[in-house]
Chains A and B, each alone.
Chain A
Amino acid sequence: MSFSLSLWVAGLAGFVALSYEIIWYRAYGVVSRSMPTTFGLLLGAYLAGVAAGSLGSRAFCHDDARLERRRLLPVAAFVYLANLASFLVVPALARLVTSVRWQLSLPLVALSAGLLGAVLPLASHFGIRPDDRAGARLSYLYVANIVGSSLGSLVTGFVLLEHLSLRGASVALSLAGLALFALLGVSATSTVRGRAAVLGASAATLVATVAASGPAFEQLHERLFFRKQFTADKRFEHLIENRHGVIAVTDGKVYGGGVYDGILNVGLRHDPNWVFRAYALAAYHPAPKRVLMVGLASGAWARILAGLPGVERLTVVEINPGYLELIPKIPEVAPLLKDPKIEIVIDDGRRWIQRHPDARWDAIVMNTTWHWRGHSTNLLSAEFFELVRARLAPGGVFTFNTTLSEAVMKTAAVTFPYAQRMYNFMVVSDSPVAFDKARWKTTLTEYRMDGAPLLDPEHDAWDKKRLDDLLYLPDTLDRPPVWEGLESRESLLARFGHLPTVTDDNMWCEWHPSDLEEEDLSPRELDEPVVVEPFHERVEVRAGHLGRDVELVGDRLRDGVERGAPRARQRAPRGDADLVEREVELGVEIEQHARAVAEHGEQHPRVGDDGHAAQRLTSGGARRVST
């Protein structure tokens, strides 16, 4: 092999290898729910494969064969197999995870990377003479490989994934890999017939790849997302793929990068996503003129915040512009894009705040993602809280979602002199934090969404109960702490003060998902637990303070999977985001039932999945009513 050819081989191999790594990371990010370990495990498998490939390549490095043309054939074969295996990693992952854990697919990554990794040592052997300049020539080859890798990162990350789906990008990479195969194959043969055979094989493989990509990538994202819960009838209503990630919508729920992002709901009648927490800003601040929101997602919160009393300007910083494509498709939130009060900035939230040192806000709001996701520390550490603190106007409040991380609650409580917990949110400030019950009532009764009131307590029994429940919220501050209520800073520090403060350095929240001890915050103070004996499932339910908004805290076994709220979270694999979805599903289900009971009386016959167990739940107990 000529040295110039070996440079091309090294460069193209680097391009293809790093491009595939980016494609794989995209798929693994979705399937793993962006856990902080994903990158390391994927890279570890990738590098282990590369290491094994480089070792295996020694078998082809015969001293006497360096100048023989035909010795390039094994290199071409490696490239061909590597290309094929790499192309199949994502479809294979999507199928494997419907029955096994995603980590078990990592050997496929190692195998593909191993085949790709053999190419550089082989190109080195066949392209470099073993003399005193070997080290220098190797450096050129290494540089060619790195330049190819860098280009692969740029082209695939910025161009392919911006304009193509995972399927399209994979086919494009397969084309690049086949070009490398053709280059080596043609160089390895000296006859016209031989070269024609190589080119023919390349073209045939490309045609076959394109044809097979359809079935191979069919319902790819649904498989990656639903994993063991995948069934052929599951299809996303909306799917947006761009270079920043994947946004999917199913059953009114929005998922970003495979993780629950929110529910397309802005109302209080049916509030499975606890969107009342957005309205509650009005109870903590009389007139937040300038509001900053980090994270837009589905836009429900932005829509609500912009309509709160006193809000003159709402600046929203969102990292993924894909949401701006989604929002116009959702009637509930589409108007926010035309709201003159709202300014949307596409940037990293922390960086954007740092780059605006002179700005001050009356309220900073973050309903951001789960604390156990990779890089969540950037928005949940003491350093970030100090940054936010410096940007609050006098009397300003910072309210954000802890996603029930006790360490994050503690961190906020020690960073700010005044703090209060509201459900899974913290409300913190340099000024006293108080939930104003009168303003809360005014907001709930006078707020208009598209001209309509949030609740109609005078004409609708369910709405009246909802209003009563919501008005009860501030009263929980004086009671033993429950998750579905308010809690003082002193109580939080007494319970969680022993935990480490989350810092940029320790990234505690990412590595230590919330491990709530149910006993710590038992709602028994309000309602004794009750056990329902359904026909097919055992469900233990316990009423929360909101009465009909019953929280399911027990076991619910279906399809062999534990479902439920805090206790189930404890038992599930740490950070298993499937729970998030199940929790929300149950919230919807229970609320639907409770509403039906309110409307039709106690004999209303159902809650439950698939016509199975039916329970009815009230704040005072639970009774099975029907199937």
Chain B
Amino acid sequence: MTAASLAVFVVFFLSGFSALVYQVVWQRSLFAIYGINLESVTVVVTAFMLGLGLGSLAGGALSKDPKRPVLLMFAAVEAGIGAFGLVSLSLFHHVGMATLRLPSLVTALVTFVLVLAPTLLMGSTLPLLTAHLVRRSGNVGKSVGVLYFVNTLGSALASIAAVLWLLPRLGQARSVVAAAIVNLVAASIVGGFALVERRREHRA
């Protein structure tokens, strides 16, 4: 395994970690605004999944062109997630308060829109990195398997860490800041590798 591949896996682990921290915190934040009855919970969870699905389509579409710098795109996506994370709770609060009295269907739509941008970005990461690895290994199953493993492992640890450590000690706002820092670190690492790789390719 090359240093670049290792970096990709480490970064994707961090990406999965921060994504789950966001999910846990955002869910709680949105439940406080829109309620914790089953309908609200379903809207929030479904909005998350649909956002991830659409993001996956977007990432897949972007990765079709073999000339596109998927690693750099991934770095940009991570930076975007982190940037959104930093303003997310404030945004949720203000939009939530402004729309709370609207009909349920409208608030469901608002919830969907609120989480659409970050989940689109999150959903796009797997296809982008898969495209990157397949270009090198030529094996889809192994590439997806390892990526999925590290990303999901990061999410699993984040899920446990969120309820045992992050939320009890940091609360929601500071947990989100911590997740955003992780995103920005991930973006820096993979962006750095991508730039080095591009220089090498240009030299070659």
Question: How many Å from the CB of A596 to the closest CB on chain B?
Answer: 44
**Highest count of chain A CB atoms <10 Å: which of B126, B130, B141, B162:** B141
Q: Judge if B173 is at the interface, Cβ distance under 8 Å.
A: yes
Whether B149 lies near A347 (C-beta < 8 A) is no
Tell me which residues across on chain A come within 8 A of B56, comparing CB atoms: 138-139, 142-143, 146
Whether B153 lies near A124 (C-beta < 8 A) is no
Whether A41 lies near B61 (C-beta < 8 A) is no
Question: How many Å from the CB of B146 to the closest CB on chain A?
Answer: 7
Q: Judge if A485 is at the interface, Cβ distance under 8 Å.
A: no
Whether A505 lies near B168 (C-beta < 8 A) is no
Tell me which residues across on chain B come within 8 A of A36, comparing CB atoms: 163, 167
Task: Look across to chain B and name the residue whose beta carbon is closest to the beta carbon of A320.
Answer: B37
Whether A150 lies near B50 (C-beta < 8 A) is yes
Tell me which residues across on chain B come within 8 A of A377, comparing CB atoms: 32
Question: How many Å from the CB of B76 to the closest CB on chain A?
Answer: 16
CA A150 to CA B100, docked complex, whole Å: 24
Task: Look across to chain B and name the residue whose beta carbon is closest to the beta carbon of A56.
Answer: B145
Contact with B along A522-555 (1 / 0, CB 8 A): 0000000000000000000000000000000000
Whether A61 lies near B139 (C-beta < 8 A) is yes
Question: Given A136-B60, A511-B168: A347 and B46 within 8 A (CB)?
Answer: no
Whether A117 lies near B152 (C-beta < 8 A) is yes
Q: A58: which of B131, B141, B168 is its contact (CB, 8 Å)? A: B141
Tell me which residues across on chain A come within 8 A of B29, comparing CB atoms: 504
**Highest count of chain B CB atoms <10 Å: which of A60, A133, A383:** A133
Task: Look across to chain B and name the residue whose beta carbon is closest to the beta carbon of A121.
Answer: B145
Task: Look across to chain A and name the residue whose beta carbon is closest to the beta carbon of B61.
Answer: A136
Tell me which residues across on chain B come within 8 A of A357, comparing CB atoms: 101
Q: Judge if B91 is at the interface, Cβ distance under 8 Å.
A: no
Tell me which residues across on chain A come within 8 A of B191, comparing CB atoms: none
Q: Judge if A237 is at the interface, Cβ distance under 8 Å.
A: no
Q: Judge if A473 is at the interface, Cβ distance under 8 Å.
A: no
Q: Which residues of chain A (132-152) have a CB below 8 Å from chain B? A: 132-140, 142-143, 146-147, 149-150
Whether B46 lies near A153 (C-beta < 8 A) is yes
**Highest count of chain B CB atoms <10 Å: which of A55, A129, A351, A511:** A351
Contact with B along A105-122 (1 / 0, CB 8 A): 000000000000100111
Q: Judge if A323 is at the interface, Cβ distance under 8 Å.
A: no
Q: Judge if B40 is at the interface, Cβ distance under 8 Å.
A: yes
Tell me which residues across on chain B come within 8 A of A135, comparing CB atoms: 59-60, 63-64, 70, 127-128, 130-131, 134
Tell me which residues across on chain A come within 8 A of B35, comparing CB atoms: 319, 347-348, 350-351
Given pairs A47-B159, A125-B145, 14 additional interface contacts (CB within 8 A): A46-B156, A61-B139, A126-B141, A132-B64, A135-B64, A136-B61, A139-B63, A139-B127, A143-B56, A147-B53, A347-B37, A351-B35, A503-B171, A505-B172
Task: Give me the interface of B with A, judged by CB distance under 8 Å.
Answer: 20, 24, 28-29, 31-38, 40, 42, 45-46, 49-50, 52-54, 56-61, 63-66, 70, 100-101, 123, 126-128, 130-131, 134-135, 137-146, 148-150, 152-153, 155-157, 159-160, 162-164, 167-168, 171-173
Q: Provide 28 A-B residue pairs closer than 8 Å at the C-beta atoms, listed in order of the A residue.
A: A37-B164, A45-B156, A47-B152, A54-B144, A54-B148, A58-B146, A60-B141, A61-B139, A61-B142, A124-B141, A128-B140, A130-B139, A132-B135, A134-B131, A136-B61, A138-B60, A139-B56, A142-B123, A147-B53, A153-B42, A153-B45, A153-B49, A243-B38, A244-B37, A348-B36, A355-B100, A357-B101, A506-B171
4 cross-chain pairs, A with B, having the tightest CB-CB distances, nearest first: A125-B141, A139-B60, A348-B35, A61-B141
